[in-house]
Structure 1
Amino acid sequence: MEWTTIESDPGVFTELIEQIGVKGVQVEELWSLDQLRELSPVFGLIFLFKWKKETEKRQVSSDAHGVFFAKQVIRNACATQAILSILLNRPELDLGTELTNFREFVADFDPTMRGLAISNSDLIRTTHNSFSRPEPLVPDEDEDDEKGGEAYHFVSYVPVGGRLYELDGLQEGPIELCECSTSDWLDRVGPHIATRIERYAANEIRFNLMALVGNRLDIYSSRLTAATARRDELAAAVAEAAAAVAADDAAALTHAQLIEVEVEVSSLQEALAIEQAKHRAWRDENVRRKHNYLPFLFNLLKLMASRGELMQLVERQGKPT
């Protein structure tokens, strides 16, 4: 079964990850690397660019023990493979039963065999293909991307074992970029992404950078629960001090802390509401993306024709305005 093209959209990627069985993560589109500090924890970055054949061969790491790397062996799978390159290199993530078993199954495979295992995984392939737009009118022959169309490609950036790697399924192996720690890898990845952009900047400006981050709904909900509990404790302390007419410095400090935490609660409630609205919009758009509207359009045209309205519409459209 072939793999179909899917859109590079954070809502698509987030739902795809959820349907594979991974919990606690989502994908965010980035406009600036400065946003990364606001999105902690960040598990990896996905960079989309217009692909062109490279004349310079890049040096792959010969000492990348513990790095999950898979060769891309089929077309149209690079988006999902870039996501998997991050998920399968972050042991702290809850991958779910299916993906955990998959990682254990392919642990001793070489990169090509891992790529074949991904392409033959019913769960991964079916989930990937479920996000393609319906194409009821299929051309006789697929356009050759290298000759007439535009081919886009995804690569991942992820820290593993104290080193920062670029994982590109079209390469022979992981590309080690530099040493890093879990606390500074986001600072170190910026120059490498900038260098990658400069390589194509002379004739291409279309790039997209996304981050695989902790699920913001879970994070904001957890913070809100903690802040609300803290607010309630402080409110009780303020009420107790007022009842005892204890207008001392400690009571004033407690009251100031209460005001501060009330502002925090309000801010978290707003952030959570915005995030909930964003996730609803993602779900709605994914439903529209998957739906085939062609039967509706055919029936609408047939109904208009039966009422004698279709030709009137065609004639009206043909007249100059």
Structure 2
Amino acid sequence: MALPSSSTPTASAPASLGERWPPLESTPAVFNQFVWSLGVPEDDVEFHDVYGLDADALDMVPQPVLAVVLCFPDPPQAKDASYPSEQLLISGEKETQDQVYFIKQIESLGNACGTIALLHAVGNASSKVNLVENSCLDLFFKSTATMDPYERAVFLEKDDTMARAHLLAANDGATELSDLIEEHYVCFVYVNGTLYELDGMKDGPIKHGPCSSISLLQDVVPVIKAIMCNIPNSINFNLMVLSRKEK
């Protein structure tokens, strides 16, 4: 089961040009300029396309992979869909909740799921990413470190610097905002030996079993295939990874 090239216009949802959180185009060019503008050095990490789920395509992906970002069609029933082996963290699992950086996507954040996926990717790889001191991301993560997912969402919605950066990234895409189709972003990360799916539309992180820094990309393939099978009548899927640059 192959994934289309990132030349396919993909974003989070249709939006007006005046919206505070318009959709982001799902391309490495857009996400790289976005994450670098927020305070991640260009020589530190980089987003890359994943062109297929077969072994040959996965072998082409630069390692080490810190996070995987999937953009996929978001039909109404997707919010209630269940995928194999998923286990939503419950509020009582306080220790695990504190270990996984998660932001809830509240209604006022509109089409910010691309930015939330980026924050999930970097926020859960903070020990491997060298943020510029006092940059937008550095201040954001320091300010929200002790907040719960909803409080982080409220903080993000009010963060004018982040909103301006998001708008610039949205305008950097090659696709007109009015032409973008309804899509949604989720992020996959590994934390303490476990694979987590981070979807701001869900109530919390979803556990998908054992994982390691070496096997992250391979471990996420069955989950992605299950998502694709659940939406069989669409080809609008795009997969990217956030990889650390070897120095």
The 8 Å contact of residues 68 and 189 in structure 2, kept in 1 or not, is answered as yes
Query: Which of these residues, 175, 196, 199, is aligned with residue 165 of structure 1?
Result: 196
Q: Is 1:104 aligned to residue 142 of structure 2? A: yes
Q: How does 1:146-157 map to 2 (within 5 A)?
A: 150-157=181-188
The 8 Å contact of residues 87 and 95 in structure 1, kept in 2 or not, is answered as no
Normalising by structure 1, we get a TM-score of 0.59
Q: Is 1:26 aligned to residue 46 of structure 2? A: yes
The residue aligned with 2:237 is 207
The residue aligned with 2:30 is 12
CA distance in 2, matches of 1:37, 1:212: 15
CA RMSD, 1 decimal: 2.4
The residue aligned with 2:14 is none
1:6: Cα distance to partner?
A: 2.6
The residue aligned with 2:10 is none
2:225 aligned counterpart, secondary structure:
helix
2:26 aligned counterpart, secondary structure:
coil
Q: Which amino acid aligns with 1:79?
A: G
Query: Which of these residues, 87, 102, 119, is aligned with residue 157 of structure 2?
Result: 119
State the aligned residue count.
205
- Where relative contact order (Cα < 8 A, 6+ residues apart) is larger, the structure is 2
The residue aligned with 2:115 is 80
The 8 Å contact of residues 58 and 218 in structure 2, kept in 1 or not, is answered as no
Q: Which amino acid aligns with 2:216?
A: W
CA distance in 1, matches of 2:81, 2:48: 31
1:191: Cα distance to partner?
A: 0.9
The residue aligned with 1:92 is 128
Q: Which has the higher strand share?
A: 2
Sequence identity percentage: 30
CA pair 8-186 structure 1, distance change in 2 beyond 3 A? closer
CA distance in 2, matches of 1:165, 1:59: 9
Task: Flag structure 1 segments of 5+ consecutive residues without an equivalent.
Answer: 135-141, 144-148, 223-321
CA distance in 2, matches of 1:150, 1:4: 12
Task: Flag structure 2 segments of 5+ consecutive residues without an equivalent.
Answer: 1-18
CA distance in 1, matches of 2:112, 2:212: 30
Q: Which amino acid aligns with 1:118?
A: L
Q: Which amino acid aligns with 2:38?
A: I
- Which protein shows a greater Rg? 1
Q: How does 1:1-321 map to 2 (within 5 A)?
A: 2-23=20-41, 24-33=44-53, 34=55, 35-38=57-60, 39-54=62-77, 55-56=80-81, 59-62=87-90, 63=93, 64-65=96-97, 66-73=99-106, 74-90=109-125, 91-97=127-133, 98=135, 99-133=137-171, 150-201=181-232, 203-215=233-245, 219=246, 222=247
Normalising by structure 2, we get a TM-score of 0.75
